[in-house]
Chains A and B, each alone.
Chain A
Amino acid sequence: MSRYMINKLLWEVEAGDESLRAFIDDSAGFIDRWERDEPMPPHPSGGTLTSEERTAFESWDYSTLYRMGAHPFLLWQFARAVWVPARMEAHEFVIAFRKGVAEYGHPDFTT
């Protein structure tokens, strides 16, 4: 498990309108392309996920990513951007997110 890789993908999905749209339309395809990207300094793109991490991303499962120690700011920005308005209204999602992560308290998010 790599919290850094989780954070990196959260960031890359949410960074621009195009990447966000592509992830919402086809999350598995987006991750396939991301895993094929050759990391290039100084701002390396691309990376690798474990199968558990990949499943969580493909199903937009913020609870699991939270439990794994995803950075809370990155996770919230990502989750809100993919869920709202595609699957939920903003005010509903605030509540759903709180409920979805409550049982995990504050997991360590040190990378």
Chain B
Amino acid sequence: MAEIVLTLAVPHTPLLWRALQGPVPADLAGVAESFSTFRALLAAERPDVLVVVGSDHLRSILTSNMPAFLIGKATRIRGTLPSEQRAFGLPAAIVPGHRDLAAHLLGGRQLPAGFDFSFSDEPWLDHSFMVPLLYLTPDLDIPVVPIHTNTNAPPIPLATRFRALGSYLREAITTWPGPERVAVIGTGHLSFELGGPRQFSGASLDPEFDGVVLDCFRQGDVERLVEVATYERMLAAGNLTFQFLNFITCLSAGGETAAQIVEAIPSRFGDEPFMAWSMGR
């Protein structure tokens, strides 16, 4: 049977990529170090598959057809769209996909009872997937199952659905008959704003919100987390804070237990979250 050997929550800030070429600037040393620590944690668990929960930023998926939750099933997956190569200097890449596990998560030939997933046979990965993958697995050699969640274009799913997604992934991965060692990686931000009056403020936008949710992750308090994560409260914390919802999926995929690492690393882009579950089981 497959097992979840590690669950990680990491930032996907695309501007890190250019800023971290060459010598590491002092104000990004903490973030660079955390990615390096998490890269080692992941390598030590020798995962065969990465299930990555990220959120396309209206790069490959527009609201002409916006799924709430989409699983990409392909053996070769294209990463980084031309607009992101230009804007962030991210490299174009081909990432291997784990089509069979993706198909299993989709329920085979009928969708699972609790989830009306969308699927794509030709997914593209934007920076919400590529930035974490490039830092955690620089060779891009571990097969990926990308799961896009709509955290960017309202109406977005309720926080309770992100919790249910995590629980579903945990159950579905552990009932996969293969021997794979699976790591679940969720990507997002804490309080976060872009394209608004408080963008690039360089510190936590909403220390109260960040403090409460980090505390929930430390205690494994998923009930409180879904209570706090209302649309209005997240919007008040910053106009794109919704991407934090992917971390609720991590908490549930990690068994709704206290995270073993919970850090918010200060950087010029705000406080960058790094969390881990299921280490050294």
Is B194 a contact of A16 with CB atoms below 8 Å? no
Contact with B along A1-34 (1 / 0, CB 8 A): 0001001100100111100100000000000000
Q: What are the residues of chain B within 8 A of A104 when measuring CB–CB?
A: 197
Is B194 a contact of A109 with CB atoms below 8 Å? no
Is A110 a contact of B155 with CB atoms below 8 Å? yes
- Main secondary structure on chain A at its contact with chain B? helix
A106: interface (CB < 8 Å): yes
For the complex, count residues of B whose C-beta is within 8 A of A. Answer: 26
B34: interface (CB < 8 Å): no
Residue in B62, B82, B83, B154 whose beta carbon sits within 8 Å of that of A109 in the complex: B154
B280: interface (CB < 8 Å): no
Is B86 a contact of A17 with CB atoms below 8 Å? yes
B235: interface (CB < 8 Å): yes
Is A106 a contact of B235 with CB atoms below 8 Å? yes
Residue in B65, B83, B194, B200 whose beta carbon sits within 8 Å of that of A42 in the complex: B65
Residue in B62, B155, B196 whose beta carbon sits within 8 Å of that of A72 in the complex: B196
Q: What are the residues of chain A within 8 A of B87 when measuring CB–CB?
A: 14, 77, 80-81
Residue in B58, B154, B197 whose beta carbon sits within 8 Å of that of A73 in the complex: B58
Is A94 a contact of B196 with CB atoms below 8 Å? no
Q: What are the residues of chain A within 8 A of B240 when measuring CB–CB?
A: 72-73
Among B62, B196, B200: residue with most chain A CB under 10 A:
B196
Is A97 a contact of B199 with CB atoms below 8 Å? yes
Instruction: Say whether, besides A72-B194, A73-B194, A76-B194, A44 and B199 are in contact (CB < 8 Å).
Output: no
B195: interface (CB < 8 Å): yes
Q: What are the residues of chain B within 8 A of A16 when measuring CB–CB?
A: 82-83
Instruction: Say whether, besides A73-B57, A73-B58, A44 and B64 are in contact (CB < 8 Å).
Output: yes
A102: interface (CB < 8 Å): yes
Contact with A along B213-248 (1 / 0, CB 8 A): 000000000000000000000010001100000000
Is A77 a contact of B83 with CB atoms below 8 Å? yes
Q: What are the residues of chain A within 8 A of B46 when measuring CB–CB?
A: none
B110: interface (CB < 8 Å): no
Name the distance in Å between A57's Cβ and chain B's nearest Cβ: 16
Q: What are the residues of chain B within 8 A of A98 when measuring CB–CB?
A: 197-200
A87: interface (CB < 8 Å): no
Contact with B along A88-103 (1 / 0, CB 8 A): 0000001001100110
B63: interface (CB < 8 Å): yes
**Could you tell me the distance between the alpha carbons of A71 and B196 in the complex, rounded to whole angstroms?**
10
A111: interface (CB < 8 Å): yes
Is A111 a contact of B58 with CB atoms below 8 Å? no
Is A76 a contact of B199 with CB atoms below 8 Å? yes
Is B58 a contact of A71 with CB atoms below 8 Å? yes
Is B64 a contact of A94 with CB atoms below 8 Å? no
Q: What are the residues of chain B within 8 A of A81 when measuring CB–CB?
A: 86-87
- Shortest Cβ-Cβ A-B pairs, 3 listed: A72-B195, A76-B195, A102-B197
10 examples of A-B residue contacts, CB within 8 angstroms: A7-B58, A7-B62, A42-B64, A44-B64, A73-B194, A74-B195, A76-B199, A98-B197, A110-B154, A111-B154
List residues of chain B with CB under 8 Å of any chain A CB.
57-58, 62-65, 81-83, 86-87, 152-155, 193-200, 235, 239-240
